[in-house]
Amino acid sequence: MMIVVRIFPKGELEESWNRVLNNLETISNKYCTPLYLSQREEENRMSLVYDVKEVNSLGDILMKNIPSLLQPEKTRTVTLLKPAFFPAPRDRPANLERYQVALKGRSEELENIFNCILHLDYPKDAFPTYAAYSLGEVDILVSMCSTSMDRLKQFVKEKLEPQKGVISVEVGHISKSKRVAPTMMWKRYRESRYAFKPTAEQEEYDFLEREVLHGARDREVETSSFW
């Protein structure tokens, strides 16, 4: 199961961000592995995404480890159910940025909406990296890459909003992302959850390879025995 822990710092966000990166062992255990860290533009919070094999084991991290390390204002969790990952077009543009698409829908149509997201014919300049049920404040979360906010909003307006049962769709820019799982572990994690096998025109793609705001290559994170 993927669970997003949203951390709202009392002080500077950058300080808490760096403290997470420098203390991964403290906020991990054998049942809860951090996968990546991200920040949505213009929001004073960060999201730490875990692979959770035993839900109760996340309790100590949320109630003890994170408060002790970061002293946040608060934390909130978002469950990502049935996550499905996607390969990427081989001829995708170089100037991609990452976005979060949050969708609300009528409960009786959610399965059909989700299946539609899995099987849409996506253009090379607006395509998903993963999708999952959330069933909280929103019903479905989709991570997408696109060349611009305007291009993605155009795609959403034409292809997602008209789907039967869709109530609303919100698009937000992910200004910063950092993989914290080891490269091969993260690669196997995504590939084991692919919605479908890559075609000849597609390839396996690590959407966290780049600091998307600045376009810089993501440096390998030092890993310890807890992995």
94-148 confidence digits (pLDDT tens) = 999 999 999 999 999 999 999 999 999 999 999 999 999 998 999 999 999 999 9
Report domain 2-82+176-217's class. Answer: alpha beta
Fold match flag (2-82+176-217 vs 84-173): yes
Q: CATH for 84-173, among 3.20.20.70, 3.40.50.10490, 3.30.365.10, 3.30.70.920?
A: 3.30.70.920
d(CA 74, CA 222): 28
**The predicted structure's pLDDT at residue 129:** 97
- Residue-wise over 188-223: b if at least 16 C-beta within 10 A, else e? ebbeeeebeebeeebeebebbebebeeeeebeebee
d(CA 8, CA 120): 35
Domain boundaries, the chain: 2-82+176-217, 84-173
Q: Which residues of the chain have pLDDT under 70?
A: 210-227
**In this predicted structure, what is the pLDDT of residue 218?**
37
pLDDT value at position 210?
54
